[in-house]
Structure 1
Amino acid sequence: MKSTLDEMQALIAVVDTGAISRAAEHLGLTVSAVSRTLSRLEEKLDTTLLQRTTRRLELTEEGAVFLERAREIVASVEDAEENLSTRREQPVGRLRVDAATPFMLHGVVPLVAGYRARYPQVNLELTSNDGLIDLLEQRTDVAIRIGRLKDSTLHARFIGSCRLRVLAAPGYLERHGRPRNIADLAHHVLLGFTQPAVLNEWPLPARDDMPLRITPTIAASSGETLRQLALDGAGIVCLSDFMTHHDRAAGRLVPLFSSRTLDVRQPINAVYYRNTALSARISTFVNYLSDHWDTGAGGSPPSRP
C-alpha cells in the first residue's frame, strides 16, 4: 500500500512544528488523528520515521531521507494546483495574514476591498500581533514585518520602506512650548515603546550623528496607542509616515526638527515560511500590497485602488 499525500503532510507538519499537538492545530485535526496517521505511514513503510520521547521528537536516518522526498512531492502537488488556479487568474482558498496593529489598520485594511474585488475566491483572515510570531504555530500564511529581519527560516519579499518623524499635536505645543533644540527634549513628555529598545531610537543626531536614544516618559507596546496619545496631546512621539500621513496632512500632528531629522527608513517585508510553496494566494496578495504601496514622501499609506 502506497503512502498518501495526507500522510506526508502530517509528517512534514510534525517535524516543522516540533510537536504532534502543534501539527494537529496547524492541520485542523485532532492529536489522535495525526498520531494515527504517522503510525499508519510507518506501518506502510515498515520503518520508524520518528523517535518519540516524552520531551522531543527526532527524525531517524530513514525518516530524514523520506522527509526530503515528501517535501518535494507535496510542493510539486501544491505547485500544480496553484498553477491551474493561477491560469484561471482566480486563486482560491483561505489566506491568513498577520501584521502589527498599526500596519494592519493603515497598510492592509485600505486594500482589502480592492483585493477582494479582484480575487473574490480568496477568503482573508486578518490577525494583529504587535510582537513576532511563529507562522506555523499561529497558522499564518504571510506576515508583514517592519524593521530588519533576523529569522533565517523565512522567505521575504520587500514591499517598501517608511520614514520616521518626530511629531507632536498643536495642543501639546501650545501648553508646553515647541522644543527649540534636541537638548530641550529632556524637559518634555516623550512617548515611546516598552520594547524593543531599538524602537526608541529617534532620527535625530546625538553623539557622532548617531540616532538619539530616548527614555520614554509614557511607554506603550503598540504604535497605534502612541499615535492616539500624541493626538490627544499627551506628549512628543516618533512614528512611521504610513501611520501619520493623514494626521500630518490635516494638521493634527506637526513635525518637529524637520531640518535636522535624519533620513531613517524602516524596511517593510512580507514573510512566509521557507518550506511553504509560494501559493497564488500569497503571491497575489503580496504583489497587490507592493503595487499599491506609495514610496513617495518616505512611505505613505497604500493608495486605494
Structure 2
Amino acid sequence: MKTRSEELQVFVTVIDCGSISAAAEQLAQTPSAVSRTLSRLESRLGTTLLNRTTRRMDLTEEGRFFLDRSRAILAQMAAMEEHLELHRQTPAGRLRINAAAPFMSHAIVPWIGEFRRAYPDIELELNTDDLIIDLLEQRTDIAIRIGELSDSSLHARSLGCSPLLVLASPQYLARRGVPERVEALNDHCLLGFSQPESLNHWPLRHADGDRWPIRPQLLASSGETLRQLALAGEGIVCLSHFMTHQDIRDGRLQVLLAEANSGHRQPIHAVYYRNTQLALRIQCFLDFIQQKLAVYAC
C-alpha cells in the first residue's frame, strides 16, 4: 500500500515540533492519533523511522533519508497547489512597475494597452528612474534592471537580453562617411555616456580584445538623449536594440561594423520582493512582458 501525503506531513511535523504532543497540537489531532499515524507509516515502509522513548526521539538513518525526501515531496505539492490556485484567481489590484525611462518608453509602454485588455482589474502605476532604487522605499512591486545584477537579497527573473549595436543616422554617414574598420571610429564624432564609464566600452573586436574604449566628443547621462542626438545626425552611438529597433527598421539609424560586433548582450531582469499577496499580479505581468521582449533579442 502506498504512503499518503497526510502521513508525510505528520512525520515532518513531529520532527519539526520535537515531540508527538507538540505536533498533535499543531495538527489539531490527539497525541494518540499522531502516534498511530507514525506507526502506520513505519509499517507501510517496513522500517523504523524514529527511535522513541518516554524522554526523547531520535531519527534513524532511514528516518533521516526519508525526512529529506518527505520535505521535498511536500514542497512540490505545495508549489503545485499554489500554481493551480493562482490560475483559479482573477488578478487584481495595483501593480507598481519601475524602469529606466528609455526601457519604459520603448519596451513597456507599447504593450500596456494589450496588457490592460488582458487583465482589466490590474491597476498599473508606471514609474521611471535611471538610478537603482530601493523597492521598499519607493513602494515598487517590480523593477526592471538592465545589466548585471549585484543585489542578491532580491528575487530576480530573467526577461531575456538585448544586443548592443553601433549606430548612426544616414545623414551623419552621408556627411562624414561610413567607418569600415573599428580603428576608423577615432576619426568620427562619438556619442557616449557620462556615467557609467563601462557603457563607453563598445562591443567591438579588435587586435587587443573585444571591447573598444571610446573617447566621446559628446556626453549624456541618458540613453534616450543619446538616441535623439544620433537621430539628429550628431554622431555615432552604441545603444541597446530594445530602444533602437524601430529606428533601424524604419531606416532612421543604420547598424555599423556589424561584422566586428563581439555579440555582447545586456541582460534584462525583473527584480522583486517575494510577497504572496502580490504574487499573482507579478506573475501575470512577468509572463506577459517576457514574451513581448523576445522581439528585442535579435
Taking structure 1 as reference, are residues 87 and 181 closer, same or farther at Cα in structure 2, changes over 3 Å only? closer
Q: How far off its partner does 1:127 sit?
A: 0.6
Does residue 244 of structure 1 match 2:272? no
Match of 2:124 in 1: 124
Contact 2:210–2:262 (8 Å) recurs in 1: no
CA contact (8 A) 1:179 1:185 kept: yes
Corresponding residue number in structure 2 for 1:76? none
Cα deviation digits, residues 186-242 of structure 1 (max 9, x gap): 121111111111111211124532311212211111111111110000110001111
* SS of match in other structure, 1:204: coil
> Aligned-pair RMSD on alpha carbons?
2.0
Which residue does the alignment assign to 1:157?
Answer: 157
Corresponding position: 1:299 with 2:297:
yes
Name the structure 2 match of 1:99: 99
1:253 aligns with 2:245: no
Residues 98, 143 of structure 1: 8 Å contact kept = yes
State how far apart, in whole Å, the 1-side matches of 2:197 and 2:207 are: 18
Give the AA of the match of 2:271: V
Normalised to the residue count of structure 2, the TM-score between the two structures is 0.69
Partners of 1:85 and 1:280 within 8 A in 2: no
Give the paired residue count: 217
Query: Percent identical across equivalent pairs?
Result: 51
1:189 aligns with 2:189: yes
Equivalents in 1 of 2:137, 2:207: separation in Å? Answer: 42
- Give the counterpart letter for 2:205 in structure 1: P
Specify whether residues 133 and 85 from structure 1 end up closer, same or farther in structure 2 by C-alpha distance, changes over 3 A only: same
Q: Is 1:166–1:237's contact at 8 Å kept on the other side of the alignment?
A: yes
SS in 2 for 1:136: coil
| Structure 1 alignment gaps of length 5 or more | 1-78, 301-305
How far the C-alpha of 1:103 sits from its partner, in A, is 0.8
Q: Displacement, 1:245?
A: 0.9
For the Cα contact (< 8 Å) 2:193–2:221, is it kept in 1? Answer: yes
Structure 1 residue 280 displacement after superposition: 0.6
Flag structure 2 segments of 5+ consecutive residues without an equivalent.
1-78
What is the CA distance between 1:140 and its match in structure 2?
0.7
Distance 2:118 2:90 in 1: 8
Give the deviation of 1:85 after TM superposition.
7.9
CA distance in 1, matches of 2:89, 2:111: 19
Does structure 1 conserve the Cα–Cα contact (< 8 Å) formed by 2:98 and 2:129? yes
Q: Structure 2 CA distance, aligned partners of 1:186 and 1:98?
A: 37
Give the conservation status (yes or no) of the 8 Å contact 2:202–2:213.
yes
1:276 match: 275
Instruction: Decide whether the 8 Å contact of 1:85 with 1:91 is kept in 2.
Output: no
3-state SS in 2 of match to 1:289: helix
Name the CA shift for 1:211/1:118 in 2 (closer, same or farther; >3 Å). Answer: same
CA distance in structure 2 between the aligned counterparts of 1:88 and 1:209, rounded to whole angstroms = 53
State the match for 1:137 in structure 2: 137
Post-superposition CA distance 1:123-153 (Å, at most 9, x none): 0000111111111111111011111100111
Does 2:169 correspond to 1:169? Answer: yes
Deviation at 1:159, TM superposition (A): 0.6
